[in-house]
């Protein structure tokens, strides 16, 4: 009797677990997840400075929101805010979650992967999709050896400049004294007036449009991360927000077309999946050129 009771209890437990699995799967959406990545705009950050972490997801479905996306734990870092933007292109949806963080402790820091749970549209099975982890280095203020060496070199250069200035003053004083003695012994002569150099004309002030045009030329010549960052910052200034702002701030300023398209394309090039960056880069160049006309 005891053995029969144990078998019945085990069968009942297995039945309950089997019933729970479909119920859990029924709470998930079916999604074709093509990309899930995480990037930071800086990998070496001083304590107390601000940097941004962008989590990019691309799904083939047309969705208005992606509440399944779970952002990683930021540990001892302070969150200064986050924003999520949703855009639709190429028959799918791109979601970018931007975290604004401030580190409080120096040392290496690993941000664990972001993830989302969904029914895999390829297999029909419940799956967890995870991004890459992100490793950054937080530098103590004044504790970077390179910065310390640079400060020392600047101090030495300042001392050398002061000594050179004193030597020049001394030489000028000696020369004036010698000239005074020579004039006392010789007849007084009137020196010819020394022509004054013409004032150097000041360069005209560069407008935000000039900055965008210059940054676009550099980006088209060498589309690297540095040139992309300069072009993106120039577009933010042209939209009326500072370079350190987020895409939501730039769009809230209500820039007209095609500046709005250029801002969205720059965001996809900076934080999008590798498979969509080439097309987004071409869209960025085209939209920026249309705005400059």
Cis, bond preceding 246 (omega within 30 deg of 0): no
The predicted pLDDT at position 48 comes to 94
CA 243 vs. chain centroid, Å, equals: 10
CA distance linking residue 157 with residue 153, whole number of Å: 6
- Give residue 10's pLDDT: 53
Given a contact cutoff of 8 angstroms between Cβ atoms, the answer to whether 218 and 227 are in contact is yes
**Long-range contacts, stretch 175-183, CB < 8 angstroms, 24+ apart:** none
Q: pLDDT tens per residue, the chain (293 residues)?
A: 444 455 455 555 555 444 444 444 568 999 999 999 999 999 999 999 999 999 999 999 999 999 999 999 999 999 999 999 999 987 799 999 999 999 999 999 999 999 999 999 999 999 999 999 999 999 998 655 555 456 557 777 888 889 998 999 889 888 888 887 776 665 555 566 777 777 776 767 889 889 889 988 888 888 777 888 888 888 889 888 887 788 888 888 877 888 888 888 888 888 888 777 788 888 889 988 898 88
**Side-by-side strand order, sheet with 126-130:** 30-31, 115-120, 126-130
Length of the chain: 293
Residue-level pLDDT at 23? 40
d(CA 46, CA 289): 36
Q: Output helix, strand, coil percentages for the chain, rounded to the nearest 5.
A: 45, 25, 30
Residue 121, pLDDT score: 94
């Amino acid at each position: 009797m005891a053995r029969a009771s144990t078998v019945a209890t085990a069968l009942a437990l297995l039945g309950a677990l089997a019933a729970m699995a479909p119920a859990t799967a029924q709470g998930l959406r079916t999604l074709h997840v093509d990309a899930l990545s995480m990037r930071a705009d800086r990998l070496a950050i001083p304590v107390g400075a601000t940097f941004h972490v962008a989590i990019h997801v691309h799904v083939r479905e047309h969705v208005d929101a992606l509440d399944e996306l779970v952002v990683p734990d930021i540990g001892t870092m302070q969150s200064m805010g986050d924003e999520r933007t949703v855009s639709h292109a190429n028959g799918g949806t791109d979601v970018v979650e931007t975290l604004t963080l401030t580190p409080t402790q120096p040392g290496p820091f690993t941000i664990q992967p972001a993830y989302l749970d969904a029914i895999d549209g390829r297999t029909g099975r419940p799956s967890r999709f995870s991004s890459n982890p992100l490793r950054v280095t937080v530098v103590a203020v004044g504790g970077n050896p390179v910065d310390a060496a640079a400060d020392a070199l600047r101090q030495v250069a300042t001392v050398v400049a002061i000594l050179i200035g004193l030597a020049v003053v001394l030489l000028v004083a000696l020369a004036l004294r010698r000239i005074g003695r020579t004039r006392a012994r010789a007849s007084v002569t009137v020196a010819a007036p020394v022509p004054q150099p013409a004032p150097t004309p000041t360069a005209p002030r560069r407008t935000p449009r000039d900055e965008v045009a210059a940054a676009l030329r550099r980006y088209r010549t060498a589309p690297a991360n540095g040139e992309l960052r300069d072009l993106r910052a120039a577009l933010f200034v042209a939209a009326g927000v500072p370079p350190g702002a987020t895409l939501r701030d730039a769009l809230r300023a209500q820039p007209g077309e095609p500046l709005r398209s250029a801002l969205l394309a720059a965001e996809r090039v900076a934080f999008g999946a590798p498979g969509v960056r080439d097309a987004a880069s071409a869209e960025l160049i085209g939209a920026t050129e249309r705005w400059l006309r």
